[in-house]
A and B are shown apart, each in its own frame.
Chain A
């Protein structure tokens, strides 16, 4: 068995084999999404609870569709408006829902490490759907699946991630996973959005936008979330677009790169509209890969891998 863990908490400690196993499984599931009847009975009778302590309609919907296509009973639990607001502890909330015989929790939480904390305190399988600034492993898997689909391989590709690295769990998951699969990763962003110490990442940090995109096979721009991080990280979106945004001239420096973005995009900030909608943009295929990847993850954790029916 190539993935025998109870949970999927982060990419940081996954082996190359485990990552490839999940990607291979996801490729098989992509086919189901193109069938007329997009449903298999694989997780029939299993209960998947989307436990979202932080709002994210997109990620939640993607997991929900993935669960439903596997015939699981999927339940959404938004915690912000309910129990934790009444003073119940996180683990009490988890234990209460677990007591209703939950098989898998899909958890998003605003604090780094919170999903690991939950996984350590429940018998159910736990999938990290984003914890604080830490990790978002299914996003990383869908990024790699999309790259593989469009470039035919992962090994040896040059991938540039541009934007708010420090506060991006998408970036962090990719930083751990991509080099493990032979991808040459480089990062760029304003100094305020790069960690003080990037040594643990073990990847190249670029000095300017041109250097970042030159010869890149993949350019991934990250969402700027000004509302969350205050006004100190960048002086204005106009200036951000000028020095850190992706436009046609910069894209031409790349190696015919595909353009990725975890969404939702700020048009004209991280990426110009002409790029977002151009033929090299794979932003919508990413969303599609997301469902396949989440099906693969739920399937792997939920069944211990019986065959696809």
Chain B
């Protein structure tokens, strides 16, 4: 099967070029100015053609909580967002803390074949923060990294040993950095809006204290710590410092943390309740600075589906988290339109860098010989993100029914068309 994509504005992390792409047997056969014979041809004039996006941080709720999302619905949501590889976190039910569950998740993804499922194994058994999991086994079964995300690894001793152990396998620890005691009963960022609303606050320092600890433990162990969903100015500052000292630390930011502030919470909308919480305008500014100067390595969505019933209750009782796979493209393109990053940075932050961090070969770049994982984006398309467009089982996002700009119109996985927008 030969597929030809013509008039492609190919946006790689390092350069943009206009070529035709010939795909053969799931591999990019050539980038060419010719128009070779193909079984199927797509004219992509006016679109951006990016290497398939890689989302290092999603929650697919499978096994155990499939009513929120399962690997199949999650994969469809990913494909509709231009995402061709995801790393589902381990806080499933049961917890993904052994090779059997890891393999179940990866295989279920493979069977469907529209998105690579690269499970994140738990750091500790049952995510109880006490004993280490069999990380070597899980890596062999398809795990890409380790994290107790959703929960912090509270014991510094446990985090130390996890970093040491996993570095022996060349792996990394993704850190959900949160000082639980300082966070207390908090449900939103502590600041002006918590003072106004009477909603209990979570200080920025809750996150920063643990980021500082984790960076120092990376210094101690030489292990690679990757800070998940960074959200505060001093958090970014700490990572910048760590990197300047040659410490093995990287980090990611979610689109909502660079797009929204805690002012959204004046409405008590549970679809704006997430952990870490939406922060102040200054923190949002710091996210953009961190993206601009490269302190922040990549963008990940922390796609966290919850059912309507769970979100439709008292603010304090509603779970933390919002969906994100299908809003990744428009929100990141906002950064491009604002001049915070350029198109190549978009490609780097959402594809190349995660591929590097996860040590994925043949992904994250459009070049001859790479896997034909491709996201085609119409950057100027304006549309209302509604339930019809939404492919996730859940609709818990503040962007539901909002007008967005920039849409993934076509997604290829291993050279196969796996998503085509019908608007």
Contact = CB atoms under 8 A, between A and B. Distances in A.
A12 B199 CA distance: 15
Given A196-B190, A196-B191, A197-B192, A135 B198 contact: yes
A148 to B, nearest CB: 26
Interface residues of A, number: 26
A17 to B, nearest CB: 22
Contact of A169 (B198, B268, B313): B198
Contacts of B312: 89, 91
B195 A201 contact: yes
Given A111-B317, A112-B316, A197 B197 contact: no
Interface in A97-122: 109, 111-114, 116-117
A114 B197 contact: no
Interface string A126-164: 000001111100000000000000000000000000000
Contacts of B190: 196-197
B200 interface: yes
Given A89-B309, A133-B200, A114 B314 contact: yes
A112 B195 contact: no
Contact of B268 (A117, A133, A172, A195): A117
A196 B315 contact: no
Contacts of B192: 197, 199-200
Interface residues of B, number: 20
A90 interface: yes
A198 interface: yes
Contact of A198 (B195, B197, B199, B317): B195
Contacts of B194: 195, 197
Contacts of A113: 197-199, 268, 314-315
Nearest to A201: B195
B197 A117 contact: no
Nearest to B266: A12
Interface in B166-213: 190-192, 194-201, 203
A196 B203 contact: yes
A9 to B, nearest CB: 11
Nearest to B191: A197
Contact of B314 (A117, A169, A172, A201): A117
Nearest to A110: B316
Contacts of A91: 312-313
Contacts of B195: 166, 195-201
Given A196-B203, A197-B192, A200-B192, A112 B313 contact: no
A296 to B, nearest CB: 24
Contacts of A201: 195
B311 to A, nearest CB: 11
Nearest to B265: A113
Given A89-B313, A117-B315, A132-B316, A112 B191 contact: no
A111 B196 contact: no
B313 A200 contact: no
Contact of A200 (B196, B203, B268, B309): B196
Contacts of B201: 195-196
A112 B315 contact: yes
Contacts of A117: 268, 313-315
B400 to A, nearest CB: 17
Interface string B278-314: 0000000000000000000000000000000100111
Interface in A37-61: none
Nearest to A195: B195
Given A196-B203, A197-B191, A90 B197 contact: no
A13 B363 CA distance: 53
Nearest to A121: B312
Interface string A257-281: 0000000000000000000000000
Contacts of A135: 198
A131 B316 CA distance: 12
B316 A90 contact: no
Contacts of B203: 196
A131 B313 CA distance: 14
A116 B196 contact: no
A126 to B, nearest CB: 14
A135 B196 CA distance: 10
Given A113-B268, A117-B268, A134 B198 contact: yes
A111 B316 contact: yes
B313 A172 contact: no
Interface in A187-206: 195-201
Given A117-B268, A135-B198, A90 B313 contact: yes
Nearest to B315: A113
User: Which residue of B195, B197, B314, B315 has the most chain A CB atoms within 10 A of its CB atom?
Assistant: B314
Contacts of A195: 194-195, 201
B266 to A, nearest CB: 9
A91 B308 CA distance: 13
B198 A90 contact: no
B288 to A, nearest CB: 22
6 contacts: A91-B313, A111-B315, A116-B268, A132-B316, A195-B195, A196-B203
| List of 3 A-B pairs having minimum Cβ-Cβ separation, nearest first | A134-B198, A113-B268, A133-B198
Given A196-B201, A200-B195, 6 more contacts: A12-B196, A89-B313, A112-B197, A113-B199, A133-B200, A196-B195
